[in-house]
Amino acid sequence: MNDADIDLDRLPTDASGRLRGSVPVIDIGGLDESSRADAPVSRIAEACRDWGFFQVVNHGIDPALIAATIAEMRAFFAQPARRKEAILRTRENPWGYYHNELTKNQRDKKEVFDFTADGIDPVYCASNRWPDTADRFRETMRRYRDASAKLSLRLLRAMCAGLGLPPDHLDGAFDPDHTGFIRLNHYPVRDPLAERDDIAHLPVADLGVHHHTDAGALTVLLQDEVGGLQVCRDGYWHDVPPVKGAFVINTGDMMQVWSNDRYQAAIHRVLAMETSDRYSIPFFYNPSVDTHIVPLALPGSNEPPHYRTIAWADFRRKRTDGDYADYGAEVQIAQYRI
């Protein structure tokens, strides 16, 4: 981390959308299984290039499943601290509950619950921690995870088509053994570590999540109606306002590398909540454990590759370490730039 990096969080906010308009909202109803439909594909490609962010409506995920997932999430976080801390994550096993996360070595004002596929996950060789006696929670979360992964694959195909590649060009790096995971985010008004002398923590948590990019290919995020998510573009922070029934999509570091910088892994953050608690659920769509990421040869381009090969599992483990505690600077794709 260097000083220029820290200063990003001090940039002004373009609250009115006066300067650049706002993150596009795209109807993907026409995006079929092969994801070739022209109109959404070109809008998605444009959004990935200009913002690294867009929202999708008409996405096909059952509203009843969404409502049930939100209800289970709220009930989970409403439990007493000691019950949540019974499934606290550790350095070795990142799955479970956490309330002391660092982004770029600054503490975030939030609490989270992370889970991935069932069984032993191949990145950390660890398995999910579930709250005991909560079968309905687990079942609902699994269904939501599967629905998010399905939507992610459709979007991945649209992003490939938008680069002029066959839509299924990257399928092999994800299907069926992607290493994606779900995070339940609760951004409370009251700092979850306030008055906790028993847990070592940094005193200040002045943002919900400090600025960062997501490590994987793409993220499918469900946010409630509170707002606070912002994306950085051209020297300003821009709000990503809640749109009823929409998912927020952003591209991650690996998509930036694959696309040789045509698509941006946008820098984003969440403000600290002051008046109302906020909830969100990102699904991070990540490649299979053995994937090696290199810039793809894009039709009509003879640009040399901007990055050296990135071994996904290695990159992911290093990033997670930085989030858990201060084990040195977070790994960034800039370190792989040629």
Asked if residue 300 lies in contact with residue 321, where contact means CB atoms within 8 angstroms, the answer is: no
Q: How far apart, in whole angstroms, are the C-alpha atoms of residue 5 and residue 332?
A: 12
To 10 degrees, the CA torsion angle through 54, 57, 59, 60? 160
Taking the complex as a whole, the smallest distance from the CB of residue 268 to ligand OGA amounts, in Å, to 5
Indicate the residue whose CB is closest to ligand OGA: 280
Helix (H, G, I), strand (E, B) or coil at 54: strand
Q: Which is nearer to Ni ion, 31 or 273 (CB)?
A: 273
Amino acid, single-letter form, for residue 151: L
Q: Which is nearer to ligand OGA, 165 or 218 (CB)?
A: 218
Which of Ni ion, ligand OGA, none does 223 bind, CB closer than 5 to 8 A by kind? ligand OGA
The binding site for ligand OGA (CB under 6 A) comprises 183, 185, 209, 214, 221, 223, 229, 268, 270, 280, 282
Which token pair is 131? Answer: 């709250």
Taking the complex as a whole, the smallest distance from the CB of residue 120 to ligand OGA amounts, in Å, to 24
Which token pair is 254? Answer: 């690996």
Q: Which is nearer to ligand OGA, 169 or 183 (CB)?
A: 183
Taking the complex as a whole, the smallest distance from the CB of residue 185 to Ni ion amounts, in Å, to 9
Q: How far apart, in whole angstroms, are the C-alpha atoms of residue 150 and residue 243?
A: 21
DSSP string for 1-48: --HHHHHGGGSPB-TT-TTT----EEE-TT--TT---HHHHHHHHHHH
Taking the complex as a whole, the smallest distance from the CB of residue 250 to Ni ion amounts, in Å, to 7
Which of ligand OGA, Ni ion, none does 183 bind, CB closer than 5 to 8 A by kind? ligand OGA
Contact letters for Ni ion, residues 198-217 (x by CB under 5 A) = ----------------x---
Q: Does 330 bind Ni ion (CB under 5 A)?
A: no
Q: Which is nearer to Ni ion, 153 or 209 (CB)?
A: 209
- Residue tagged 């600054």 (tokens): 106
Taking the complex as a whole, the smallest distance from the CB of residue 214 to Ni ion amounts, in Å, to 4
Taking the complex as a whole, the smallest distance from the CB of residue 36 to ligand OGA amounts, in Å, to 30
Amino acid, single-letter form, for residue 301: S
Asked if residue 250 lies in contact with residue 268, where contact means CB atoms within 8 angstroms, the answer is: yes
Indicate the residue whose CB is closest to Ni ion: 214
Applying CB under 5 A, the site for Ni ion has a residue count of 1
Q: How far apart, in whole angstroms, are the C-alpha atoms of residue 232 and residue 212?
A: 10
Q: Which is nearer to ligand OGA, 232 or 310 (CB)?
A: 232
Around Cβ 125, how many Cβ atoms within 10 Å? 9
Q: Does 108 bind Ni ion (CB under 5 A)?
A: no
Which token pair is 325? Answer: 């505690």
Give the helix, strand, coil percentages of the chain, each rounded to 5: 30, 20, 50
Q: Which is nearer to ligand OGA, 112 or 293 (CB)?
A: 112
Taking the complex as a whole, the smallest distance from the CB of residue 275 to ligand OGA amounts, in Å, to 17
Residues that bind Ni ion (CB under 5 A): 214
